[in-house]
Structure formats: structure tokens, C-alpha cells
Amino acid sequence: MKIDTTVHSGYTAISIAGEIDMYSSPALRDTLLTMAKKKEAIVIINLKDVKYIDSSGIATFVEALKKMLSYGGKLKMAQVPDRVMEIFNFSKLDKVFDIYGSIEDAANS
């Protein structure tokens, strides 16, 4: 899994590529919890190149979302691949996360 973080005017984008599983999710957790610790106002996760996500990856996103909501921050998802979306739907996380078709849509919402 690769994580690229880029800071933009008004938001921080995190692009993830590869597989999010029990092995890789601790690195993702570190990245997201660091954002939450810095009280980043808007973080947009670009999932376009994610090939797989397991329950540890979902748990990581849920934990980060809860931390960010606690100080009024926003965690948004963009470009969610179909298979990842299926997993979000099954887990009922589609009702919890703000999901957008593109980074631009997420940034402008």
C-alpha cells in the first residue's frame, strides 16, 4: 500500500494505492490519526487506486472519522472503486461517510 499526502488550499488529500489489510492498515492509521491530532479541518481520502480493503481498514477509517468529528473536522471519501463501495454498503458505512465522485466535488461540497 502507498499513501501520498498533499496539502491544498482548504483541505488535505490522502491518496491510497494498493491493498488495505491487517498488514498495511497500521501505517494508514498513523497517517490519519496524525491528521486528527493536528486537528486538520477537512481531509479527503482518494480511494481510486485501492484494490482491497478488509475490516481493519474499515475500522481505521471509522476511528479516524470519530476523532475528526470530535473537534468538528470532516473526513470525506472520493473516487471509491465499485468493490470497495460494495464493502462500504455491506458495512453500512455508506451512510456514515461523505462519499463523492471526485476530489473536486469533495473539496467544493
Report the interface residues with another protein, using CB under 8 A: 19, 21-23, 52, 54-56, 58-60, 62-63, 66, 83, 86-87, 90-93, 96
Decide if 42 contacts 66 (C-beta within 8 A): no
Cβ proximity to another protein, 27 vs 41, nearer residue: 27
Nearer to another protein, 38 or 51 (CB): 51
Measured in degrees and rounded to the nearest 5, phi and psi for residue 89 equal -65, -45
Nearer to another protein, 37 or 92 (CB): 92
**CA dihedral sign of residues 93, 94, 96, 99:** positive
